[in-house]
Amino acid sequence: MDAETALDDAYFDYCPWDFVDRASAGQRAAQDAHQRRLAESGARLGPRCYVSPAAGVFTGTLRLGADSYIAGHAYVTGEVTGGDDCTVNPYATVRGRITLGDGVRIGAHSSLLGFNHGFAPDRPVHQQPLTSKGITVGDDVWIGSHVVVLDGVTIGDHCVVGAGAVVTKDLAPWTVAAGNPARPLRGRRAQVGPRRDRAVSGALPGGLPDDLSDGPSGDLSGDLGDAVARFADRARAQAADLIARCWNPEAGRYADRPGAPATVRAHCDAVEIADLLMGSPPEQLAADEHAERLRALQDPGSGLVPEFAPDGGPGVLPAPAADGWIDDGTAEYHVLAVSYALDLLGSRLTQPVHVVRCMTADQLLARLGSLPWRTRTWSAGAWVDCWATGAHRNLELGVEDGEPGALEALFGWLTTRVDPWTGMWGTAESPAAGRLQLVNGYYRLTRGSYAQFGLDVPYAERVVDTVLAHGRDQRWFTAGRENACNVLDVAHPLWLAGRRGGHRAAEVRTWAEEQLTRALGRWRDGAGFGFGPAGEDGGGPGREPGLQGTEMWLAIVWLLADLVGVADRLAYRPRGVHRPEPARSPGFATPG
């Protein structure tokens, strides 16, 4: 077998859905022979089925209907019966007495365990008798990755089970469930998107409606779903006005709020809010005019974008350091803000980010080693965010780094410096701020690197542990003390690290429910969200509603709603700086 054929065979182990359309004649013949061997052991497979030779299939009974498959490294034993269009994805385990309806999807690394044994104290565990009540899964069911379904459970028709759930009890038809133990989040048939048939409650600015704020704690997702739908309707109806209040027609620029100076970020925030809530650019300029104004701000020598001068004219950057980098935190953030605003306007930066392009791998490693990881972890993470975003934009423009391997050097340095006990970079905590610098720096670092480039974060479960511990710090997360930065810097890591597993999922959801409830009550009619109390260093625009607070809290509301399971009720999804999806999928290659 040559290398190319071997590679193709391995492809079908992991992507079996492509076998019918893409397999060669030789591969089809080999699969037919494999199915004949399975049939000799009693298997009965319908037309267009595929069973990977790399799967461990040792069944007493195996029945699969048409168009079903078992992917590579799945482990299937016992008495397994499935209908049409059933899929067992890579590394899934299906054991015991299992009955699947039509159209069942079993995600990678999930386990359906249709057997059990006792643990009475009169004998060792390995001598306990086995029992098998069996597992029944109805039609049109999606079981996400890393789910465990225990013996005796029935999952009704049309259910969806979220990643990482542990299903210990029956689920009624049409249930969307998640958590450990799994519990219903809502009905799959519930109306999604904005509630156009209901008046928007006037209770939102001062708090949640009475039917949400009263009553015992517990599963609030149904009420929260209604609340976020009403909030989204309210925000969409007011979006144009809250952007217009921040536009200075004489200067032709945006300020964060009336009376504040014009800033580059305010223009970018206006673009993001308009895209999120209206699906169009802000009304003050045409899309190409917005794009041209932002593109014209880029400094031709460095590729950075300075802040406006006090008189409103072009800004001036400081002199470069010995490695060519220009240390200007505002200009560094503008690499993110301006480039993502241009994305939303269907445009790109005029030129590469030269300070990134010209930095060699050795200079990059020296700079990383000199960052204030022990004293100002947020600043260190912000620098990584800027550099990695510049590298992403340069690749997007088809520009290679000055020396090959700089981007790989970044991820190599990060991989070898991460703390396996916390999953983070930098100092663990300080008496004055707790884990604030550590967690906030983690968000900025991973946003620009792992999240932006579509790579899994290391030690994801430890990240969840660290972030949850920080999220309980009363100095930063009691009512009236939160600001957008601090809540975002917990919500995003919990979303990012938890999306492929269910580690402490119930605790994550409880934290998100509480924060989402508070966030919805912060909206100010006609003005949007305020950023919140000043941070530990006095930074941030404060409590007054403005464009920065509105843009950030809109993204936070989406993240929290997704952690709770009601994000679809918002009918919006961030596409800019705070987008949940990677900008490159995955890795470093230029998009085709």
Q: Would you please indicate which residues are annotated as catalytic (active-site) residues?
A: 117
DSSP string, 245-274: TTEETTTTEEBSSTTSPB-HHHHHHHHHHH
CA 144 – CA 498 distance, rounded (Å): 13
Question: Residue 549's closest CA among 251, 310, 272?
Answer: 272
CA 20 – CA 12 distance, rounded (Å): 10
Question: Residue 393's closest CA among 580, 587, 590?
Answer: 590
The residue type found at 142 is W
The alpha carbon of residue 126 and the mean position of all alpha carbons in its chain are separated, in whole angstroms, by: 41
The residue type found at 482 is E
Burial class of 500 by CB neighbour count within 10 A (0 to 12, 13 to 18, 19+): middle
CA 82 – CA 88 distance, rounded (Å): 10
**C-alpha distances in Å from residue 82, one per residue of 67, 85, 190, 235:** 11, 9, 28, 46
Tokens of 73: 């490294």
Is residue 471 within 8 Å of residue 512, measured between CB atoms? no
Half-sphere exposure of 213 (CA within 13 A, CB side): 11
- Residue 166's contacts (CB-CB under 8 Å, 6 or more residues apart) are 147, 148, 150, 179, 180, 181, 182, 502
- Residue 415's contacts (CB-CB under 8 Å, 6 or more residues apart) are 458
The structure tokens 């605003």 sit at: 341
For residue 176, what is the enclosing H or E element? strand 175-178
Question: Residue 470's closest CA among 517, 423, 527, 413?
Answer: 423
Q: Name residue 530's beta-bridge partners.
A: 545
DSSP state of 419: B
